Amino acid sequence: MSPDTSHTNLRLGYGTNGLTDLRLDDALALLADLGYDGVGLTLDHMHLDPLAPDLAARTRHVAKRLGELGLGVTIETGARYVLDPRRKHGPSLLDPDPDGRAARTDLLITAVRVAADLGAHAVHCFSGITPADTLTDTAWKRLEGSLTPVLDTATDAGTPLAVEPEPGHLLATLADFHHLRGLLGDPEPLGLTLDIGHCQCLEPDAPADCVRNAAPWLRHVQIEDMRRGVHEHLPFGDGEIDFPPVLEALAATGYQGLTVVELPRHSHAGPELARESIEFLRTQVPPKGVPAW
């Protein structure tokens, strides 16, 4: 029997980057059966490959399947080797080679178009690591230039672009996100992906305070357990996060998107962890009607 999800404001999802051993149709059916509200769909060679032929037709099939299963979707773009089979996450938006940066920009533009066709609530992305021998100001200028065409496409599509602060990247913190907003002139489609584990890992504020501070820009949420100072995505209960205050803060923001479990290194146990994760979160979430802070 699927868990009862009617008692919570939050819409829970699970990331396909944690289900890479499953065919996409099987992964979607699993999540629907477990009671998830949606899916964080990482465009990758095994799941709606953004570079393979007949993308439009394959996207229509996924849209139909999502509709049949009643699943919402957000598009994630963190596939490790989708552009370069030898460089993890390469090339990035900060690549020294303009052609490399353009390839990443084109991938994100494709992701925005796929997201629009699927009715996704946002497209996730991140900056990448600053290349060796690259000045910080130069890296920020590259990021600004690389994202501008993506934001133009997002504006036309009516689909937010949700940038994720990622430990070790140029854009690593909430403060860095606001720096990017300033560089770009605070464009309307630019939003934030907030990873709760990353808040625990390196933000100066507690995760619940990060949620409250990020609320006006929140377009996508990822969630997992984590320890302070260690960037390792952990199953719930294996880290240090106190989840009820985090989820109460998130519910109080009125955020309407998906809160997606992010366990990309646990695909070997994906189906079982998907079950355990939703069971854990159902014991932590506040009831509907939580008063706004």
Strands 225-227 and 230-234: antiparallel
Using CA atoms, how far apart are residues 22 and 14, in angstroms rounded to an integer? 13
Q: Count other C-beta atoms under 10 Å from residue 265's C-beta.
A: 10
Least confidently predicted of 27-36, 43-52, 73-82, 263-272: 263-272
Using CA atoms, how far apart are residues 220 and 122, in angstroms rounded to an integer? 7
pLDDT in tens, 222-265: 999 999 999 999 999 999 999 999 999 999 999 999 999 999 98
pLDDT in tens, 217-233: 999 999 999 999 999 99
- Sign of the CA dihedral running 267, 112, 120, 281: positive
Using CA atoms, how far apart are residues 173 and 188, in angstroms rounded to an integer? 20
pLDDT in tens, 268-284: 999 999 999 999 999 98
Crossing angle for the helix pair 270-282 and 24-34, nearest 10 degrees? 30
* C-alpha R_g of the chain: 18
> Phi and psi at residue 166, in whole multiples of 5°?
-125, 125
Listed by start position, the domains of the chain span 11-282
Report residue 287's pLDDT band, with 50, 70 and 90 as the boundaries.
Answer: low
pLDDT in tens, 52-111: 999 999 999 999 999 999 999 999 999 999 999 999 999 999 999 999 999 999 999 999
Q: Scanning the structure block, which residue is given the tokens 């996409």?
A: 24
DSSP state letters, 122-174: -EEE---PPPTT--HHHHHHHHHHHHHHHHHHHHHHT--EEE---TTSSS-SH
| pLDDT greater than 60 at residue 5 | no
**Is residue 74 classed as helix, strand or coil in its secondary structure?**
strand
Q: CATH: 1.10.10.10, 3.40.50.970, 3.20.20.150, 3.20.20.80. Which one for 11-282?
A: 3.20.20.150
DSSP state letters, 174-193: HHHHHHHHHHHT--TTEEEE
- Sign of the CA dihedral running 70, 76, 80, 81: positive
DSSP state letters, 261-288: E--TT-GGGHHHHHHHHHHHHHTTPPPT
